[in-house]
Structure 1
Amino acid sequence: MKHNTFLALALSALLLTACSAPAAESAAPTPAAYESQAPAAVSVGKPLHHLNSGGTAPQIGITDSAAYLPMKFGCILLATKIDFATAQQEILCNADGCTHTDETCLAFMAADDDALSQYYTGGLVAAGDRLYWFISGGASPVNVRVDVSAPDGSDRHTIIENGSIFQLDCTMSMNFTDGDALYLATAASGLVRLEDTGLTPIFPLNDGHPTSENPLYAQGSTPRCMILGCWQDMAVFACTPSLSGSGTGLMGVHADGSITDLGTYHAAFSAALHEGKIYHIPGSGNQAETIEITDLTTQSTEKLPLPVGSGWNNYCITYGDGTIGLIRDELNYAWTPGNDIAVELAPTWGKDTAVARSPVIYAENGTTALVKVSDHTASVARLTPEGIPYQRQQPIRELALISLQDLFSGRQNWTSVTMLDGVLFG
């Protein structure tokens, strides 16, 4: 059921009632977890692709050939790149003789040079043939500047200055692309689109400012929403109340700003979405035994046993290649639904020198993963803004590259990345 978000509230409510009732009468019974409210949605635009879907570091951009990381060197925040062909980190600046120490550097993002700017952070998101630079922090309230460039940093220009952190926090968003533009989806502000020309708000959600364009507010209360992922040309949100006015519902926001009611799904707030399938592990703590998989196309749910063993956490994540990530005793496992066993991502270092820890997947593109395989603390020489030398204890993260196929087979044949002497976020 598709309707335009700019309809009046009364008309929106009428359309929802008129369209959902016949579908409910004719539909076959469905499992308790999912209640069909509308025919399977049909894409009306270019499909969206989830960027870094299984990664834990949204501030790190990844393409088929490189990863892009903001990194602090002393008080300077610079854009860096890890080339997959060389497994070396380099500053994203090719200017001859550049010292990479001030704002004249082509990779410059921000500087902690006064009390108001000492909390600057950044993110680099690669979408299509563009690289988006997010610089946030400084004076309160926090503002965001967004630049855009080619992947090598050339043709860089600012498209947003003093933007809202609620709309432009790439570290808290799910990031999608249709091959042309970048889409940020958050529960705080809904869906926005970024292009060379700037920002386009697509759908207002839950930013504390109810608007007549949002039919969720027709229910008389502020909706509680969470972004699950993308499907077809839609960003899919779980919202309470649903568009039908009761329970938790799935709402698809199309790239053109229209919306589709995807039905009621009671467990949506703890679910993961990948290629039109919703994965949910019922239960609590580490006593989970089954997983529910709902297909949005067929509007049906199947329940499968989790792999052999016990103590599974009731949390799962979906990676870009379709593998399901499970957790048990702080170790990560890779699992394909239907298999009897899950493969352990072999622990590589100890947490607090005692508890074993699996590699952390910072970024992945569906084929290759950038992983943290260990970390340690080191004393590093630094200079204050006044030029006074001092020693600072900082975490050193050891990163590596590995194919998802090898990683999810339990192998450790990764290639260590030659890292620069700086500080990574996250």
Structure 2
Amino acid sequence: MLGTPFLLAAALLLAGCTAAPANPVQTEETAAATPAPAAEEAEETAAAPVLRELTPCTLDRYYKASAIDDSGQIFLTTIDLNDGRQRVACTKPGCAHTGPDCWAWLQDSTVGRPNKLELYTDGEQLYWVNLTDYGHYDMGTIDPQSSVFVSGLEGADAPPVEWLAGTPNYGGNFLQDNSYMDSHWFTDGETLWALINSNPPDETTGEQTFATTLIHFEPAPEGSFAPYTAQVVWRQVRDGSTGYAGLLDGQIVVGVQYPGPDTGSMADNYKNSTTELRVLGCDGILGEPLARFVNGDYKTQALVDGQWYTMAADSTDLQVTDLHTGESRTLCNLPEAAETFSVTPQFVYGGRLVVNLSRDAGDVRYVIDTETGAATTLPTTWAKDGAIPRVPVFYQVAGERCLMKVGSQDRMVTDMGQDGGTYTHPSSLSVYAVEDLGAYLDGDQNWTICDLLTPNGVF
């Protein structure tokens, strides 16, 4: 889902994962000890790769592993961002999409932990990333499996034999920690990069640590079984998290958290911790701090479209900082932020910054001109629990289109209990829609309700 600020990511203590590197791995300590190249060498050094983050979207479709009926089976599907229809991503002639013979069929283990399937695209290919998380399920003695399977945008030509056997290993066994938390995937136009966060236990004490690992996937030699070979470029294991903050000029920016005194309260510990923003180069070198701050001093910090947006805990002024020069200015004042528990800068579109404010009284969504600071509010369109005003929830933004949750429908469902008896309970059905993003930011609500295959209406 869009719009999670780095503040919340750090609060959840994001981290990374491991693998066996082919070459020496740059750590924070070794990077600091590595001398800068001589001027002559620097001139000969190739330009740093310019990265862009992969998403589950092309400009007109969103890829989703989904149930399509009540059978419990999972299939690769797409949601058309123009007409809102969900379709099975299968090109097999005459296929009924009822089981393993369907080219879009996915076994259960590829969509639910301890195995997790994530789908990404660069607009030309589809990357099926299978990740394992046995450690969080007390299955630490089982070797993890991980894979990167590549197909065209229409899906697989047929289910891979290794996939059906439950032992995929495309791209090498790059996930080793058995404690997967989250990841971000990038391309430089030719190769893949992944920043993976995990929280493996210390091998000696058993206490939780936090790891962040940058992995580079290079195309394997022609004729190889796997399309990519994986190499660990940088890895950091420490007692404070290192979370992804965003991209700056095509370079990964991370927030390195340094714990403060232990107060016995996780929330207070986070408030007392310090975070440094640093560029993590594709060469595995961690740059000097771009910014340093105590987390409890701010309601939000977020890197959006190359700009650093912050709001101090005792203020309602939204500040914007140029991380190249360090120059900061007040973009605008958001008076309703005084009553909020969450201020979330989400994205910039057409020179307009979208900021969400969450409070007990309901949501507020601002659309702010990034040059003038002029702010307008968009109307709430539905109510959580029938009472708390809500704005549409952005799930994906792709080019000029967006996929949003725009409401919920109350309903009663009947399930079978462990004793074999049935019971009826309320379970709301989510309502999703697609719309032109610019039109919505202008205040238009003439969206197209999605026609979904998934029976429970939940992504």
Counterpart contact for 1:371–1:400, Cα < 8 Å: yes
Shift of 1:359: 0.6
Matches of 1:266 and 1:368, distance apart in 2: 35
Matches of 1:358 and 1:364, distance apart in 2: 16
Counterpart contact for 2:53–2:186, Cα < 8 Å: yes
SS of the residue 2:338 aligns to: coil
Structure 2 residue runs of 5 or longer lacking an equivalent are 1-22, 38-44, 161-167, 199-211, 219-226, 260-272
Counterpart contact for 1:228–1:271, Cα < 8 Å: no
Does 1:192 find its partner at 2:215?
A: yes
Q: 1:410 to 1:95 in 2, by over 3 A?
A: same
1:101 is aligned to: 98
1:290-301 counterparts in 2 under 5 A? 290-301=317-328
Matches of 1:143 and 1:347, distance apart in 2: 44
SS of the residue 1:204 aligns to: strand
Shift of 1:301: 2.1
Counterpart contact for 2:430–2:458, Cα < 8 Å: no
Counterpart contact for 1:289–1:312, Cα < 8 Å: no
SS of the residue 1:164 aligns to: coil
SS of the residue 1:271 aligns to: strand
Matches of 2:303 and 2:437, distance apart in 1: 19
Counterpart contact for 1:399–1:416, Cα < 8 Å: yes
Q: Residues 369-403 of structure 1: CA distance to partner in whole angstroms, max 9, x if unpaired? A: 1111122355679999xxxx999976533221112
1:83-232 counterparts in 2 under 5 A? 83-111=80-108, 121-136=116-131, 140-141=139-140, 143-154=145-156, 159-160=170-171, 164=175, 172-188=182-198, 189-194=212-217, 196-206=227-237, 222-232=239-249
Shift of 1:90: 0.1
Structure 1 residue runs of 5 or longer lacking an equivalent are 20-41, 53-60, 207-220
Counterpart contact for 1:237–1:251, Cα < 8 Å: yes
Shift of 1:253: 1.5
Matches of 1:333 and 1:202, distance apart in 2: 40
What TM-score do the two structures reach when normalised by structure 1?
0.71
Q: 1:161 to 1:201 in 2, by over 3 A?
A: closer
SS of the residue 2:277 aligns to: strand
Paired residue for 2:356, among 326, 333, 358? Answer: 326
Amino acid at match of 2:242: C
SS of the residue 2:320 aligns to: strand
SS of the residue 2:438 aligns to: helix
Amino acid at match of 1:123: E
Q: 1:317 to 1:192 in 2, by over 3 A?
A: farther
Matches of 1:250 and 1:48, distance apart in 2: 18
Amino acid at match of 1:258: I
2:308 is aligned to: 278
Shift of 1:175: 3.6
RMSD: 4.2
What TM-score do the two structures reach when normalised by structure 2?
0.66
Shift of 1:250: 2.0
Paired residue for 1:406, among 405, 426, 439? Answer: 439
Shift of 1:81: 0.5
Percent of aligned pairs with the same residue? 22
Shift of 1:91: 0.5
SS of the residue 2:439 aligns to: helix
Matches of 1:361 and 1:392, distance apart in 2: 28
Q: 1:336 to 1:315 in 2, by over 3 A?
A: same
Q: 1:415 to 1:199 in 2, by over 3 A?
A: farther
Counterpart contact for 1:276–1:297, Cα < 8 Å: no
Amino acid at match of 1:190: T
Amino acid at match of 2:60: S
Counterpart contact for 1:273–1:318, Cα < 8 Å: no
1:36 is aligned to: none
Q: 1:276 to 1:341 in 2, by over 3 A?
A: closer
Paired residue for 1:234, among 248, 251, 275? Answer: 251
1:26 is aligned to: none
Shift of 1:134: 3.4
1:311 is aligned to: 338
Matches of 1:182 and 1:167, distance apart in 2: 22
Counterpart contact for 1:224–1:239, Cα < 8 Å: yes
2:206 is aligned to: none
Amino acid at match of 1:180: E
Q: Residues 107-145 of structure 1: CA distance to partner in whole angstroms, max 9, x if unpaired? A: 1222379xx978765332122412122345696357544
Counterpart contact for 1:229–1:236, Cα < 8 Å: yes
Q: 1:277 to 1:190 in 2, by over 3 A?
A: farther
Q: 1:78 to 1:260 in 2, by over 3 A?
A: same
Shift of 1:289: 0.8
Amino acid at match of 2:451: T
Count of equivalent residues: 366
- Identify the range of structure 1 (65-74 vs 248-257) with the bigger mean alpha-carbon deviation: 248-257
Amino acid at match of 1:311: A
Amino acid at match of 1:263: L
Shift of 1:261: 1.9
Amino acid at match of 1:333: Y
Shift of 1:335: 2.2
Shift of 1:228: 0.3
1:49 is aligned to: 52
Q: Residues 397-423 of structure 1: CA distance to partner in whole angstroms, max 9, x if unpaired? A: 322111221222222121222211434
Q: Residues 156-192 of structure 1: CA distance to partner in whole angstroms, max 9, x if unpaired? A: 76525766386996x8333433333443324433323
SS of the residue 2:329 aligns to: strand
SS of the residue 2:303 aligns to: strand
Matches of 2:234 and 2:80, distance apart in 1: 36
Does 1:79 find its partner at 2:76?
A: yes
